[in-house]
Amino acid sequence: MELGLNKLPWSGQIGAFLLVAIALFAVFRIYYIGPRLEEQAQKQVELEQKLAEVEQAQQDAIELAEFQAEVDDLNNRLEALSAVLPEQEEVAGLLRRLVTFAQQSNLTIQAFRPQAAVMREMHAEWPIQLELEGTYHNLGMFFDRVSKFSRIINVSDVVIRVREPAELNLTITAECTATTFVLLEPPEAEPAPAT
């Protein structure tokens, strides 16, 4: 028995041709298109991951800009605070300024007793007990000068007594505590040990 396409009727030849075409398409689909589709699907997943990373990076850039603005604001506030709160080495000059204010106000300093510093989280408080002699008006000028000074100096515990015997420009004695504040340097973080 001889097999050949020529011996089949035309409908059989078309059927055989279709069968071979379908088989070739199936082989082409399985061995060529299938791997390409899988590769394309994998690349689509990678593209979506990269797009998500880009979106996250853009969000991080926005947050970084916000954090940088906040850091700049905090640095500006620290500079402004440093202008109001002296550092430790400036305290002596500040204390001299108090003496100058008293002298400019025509007050006599009878006692000048620095007290122990009180440490706080970010600053130290340096109280100084003062005993002054002069007039009410002179004491008012002294307090006014202290209040207008660029550094923070709190005057508290004010006790005023009439001076006996009163003299010209010496009618009262006053005791008070002048407290100034010193900005403490934050402790520097120790570097992490190298591994």
pLDDT of residue 86: 58
Q: Which of 123, 120, 105, 85 is nearest to 176 (CA)?
A: 105
Q: Among all chains, which residue has been given the structure tokens 């004010």?
A: 158
Is residue 110 within 8 A of residue 152, CB to CB? The reply is no
pLDDT of residue 134: 92
pLDDT of residue 7: 72
pLDDT of residue 1: 43
Q: Strand, coil or helix: what is 50?
A: helix
- Dihedral (C-alpha) 24, 29, 35, 37: value to the nearest 10 degrees? 160
pLDDT of residue 192: 56
Is residue 179 within 8 A of residue 127, CB to CB? The reply is yes
Q: Among all chains, which residue has been given the structure tokens 């055989």?
A: 16
pLDDT of residue 56: 93
Residues in CB range of 119: below 8 A, 6 or more apart = 184
Q: Can you list the residues of the chain whose pLDDT is less than 70?
A: 1-5, 81-91, 186-195
- pLDDT tens column, 72-94: 998 888 777 666 665 555 667 77
